[in-house]
């Protein structure tokens, strides 16, 4: 039985390592929030950005009805985004300003910046249109790091985004490093670089994410179930011998 127990422990460790290496889609719920400090180097002070999950709402575009997560972004400006629950693509957004509210509905859902699941080596591209111009982001998960912020220290998947502008060949060399954590359920920190010089950053300063507990509980139950089946199989094999 000692050998069986050793094999079982080894199986659990291997499974845990595999599980930790893949960043799954977050399970956002109403009341979850993230607060960030944003700073442009050389600027006078930090700006505060708050992201809050308001709930769920059905949005129909054409003949398709999407179950959406409603997310409010406030700080420098106020916006509300409607993310498709399955793909996290953007179905609709509302912009709030002094001139009145502006609603934008996307007939073709807009891709989100982070495309789950994430694992080291994964690559994807995103093209963003803005004011008759566009920028293409070449994304790659380049590793896993421990990142410290004012909200705590977290194990993060590190994503590099290289920006390619369509304007002129003389556009500055711009890239961004994005750190995302499963325990936070969102971005932990970003760093923007221009010509290899840090020009701005965002840093998590407080948050509440209810989905991580559920993910951990699910993982524990799954590990126990696999371990039990593994032990039972070995015991039956020994009995037959």
**Of 112, 147, 162, the domain-final residue:** 112
- Statement to judge: residues 123 and 178 lie in one domain: yes
- Statement to judge: residues 134 and 155 lie in one domain: yes
**Of 83, 112, 141, the domain-final residue:** 112
- Statement to judge: residues 146 and 225 lie in one domain: no
- Statement to judge: residues 240 and 203 lie in one domain: no
- Statement to judge: residues 50 and 18 lie in one domain: no
Per-residue pLDDT of the chain (241 residues; tens, 9 = 90+): 454 444 343 333 333 344 458 999 999 999 999 999 999 998 878 999 999 999 999 999 988 999 999 999 998 889 999 999 999 999 999 999 877 889 999 988 988 899 999 999 999 999 887 666 778 899 999 999 999 999 999 999 999 999 988 765 556 689 999 999 999 999 999 999 998 999 999 999 999 999 875 444 444 444 444 444 444 454 454 555 5
CA–CA separation, 57 vs 36, rounded Å?
26
Domain that holds residue 80: 32-112
- Statement to judge: residues 91 and 152 lie in one domain: no
Q: How many domains does the chain have?
A: 3
Nearest Cα neighbor of 13 from 155, 226, 157 is: 226
- Statement to judge: residues 119 and 196 lie in one domain: yes
- Statement to judge: residues 164 and 237 lie in one domain: no
- Statement to judge: residues 55 and 68 lie in one domain: yes
- Statement to judge: residues 90 and 163 lie in one domain: no
- Using CA atoms, how far residue 65 sits from 58, 92, 109, in Å, is 6, 12, 12
CA–CA separation, 217 vs 224, rounded Å?
11
What pLDDT does 107 receive?
86
- Statement to judge: residues 17 and 94 lie in one domain: no
- Statement to judge: residues 12 and 39 lie in one domain: no
- Using CA atoms, how far residue 132 sits from 118, 135, 156, in Å, is 31, 11, 35
**Of 49, 79, 112, the domain-final residue:** 112
């Amino acid at each position: 039985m000692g050998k069986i127990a050793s094999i079982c422990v080894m199986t659990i460790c291997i499974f845990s390592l595999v599980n930790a290496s893949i960043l799954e889609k977050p399970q956002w719920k109403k009341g979850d929030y993230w607060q960030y400090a944003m700073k442009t180097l050389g600027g006078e002070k930090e700006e505060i950005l708050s992201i809050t999950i308001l709930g769920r709402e059905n949005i129909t575009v054409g003949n398709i009805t999407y179950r959406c997560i409603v997310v409010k972004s406030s700080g420098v400006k106020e916006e509300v985004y409607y993310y498709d629950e399955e793909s996290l693509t953007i179905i609709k957004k509302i912009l709030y300003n002094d001139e009145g509210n502006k609603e934008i509905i996307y007939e073709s859902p807009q891709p989100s910046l982070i495309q789950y699941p994430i694992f080291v080596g994964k690559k994807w591209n995103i093209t963003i249109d803005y004011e008759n111009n566009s920028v293409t982001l070449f994304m790659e998960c380049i590793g896993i790091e421990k990142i410290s912020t004012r909200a705590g220290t977290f194990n993060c998947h590190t994503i590099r985004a290289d920006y390619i502008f369509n304007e002129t060949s003389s556009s500055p060399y711009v890239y961004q490093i994005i750190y995302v954590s499963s325990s936070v359920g969102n971005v932990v920190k970003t760093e923007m670089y221009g010509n290899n010089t840090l020009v701005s950053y965002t840093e998590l300063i407080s948050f509440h994410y209810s989905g991580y507990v559920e993910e951990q509980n699910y993982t524990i139950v799954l590990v126990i179930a696999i371990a039990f089946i593994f032990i039972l199989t070995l015991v039956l094999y020994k009995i037959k011998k």
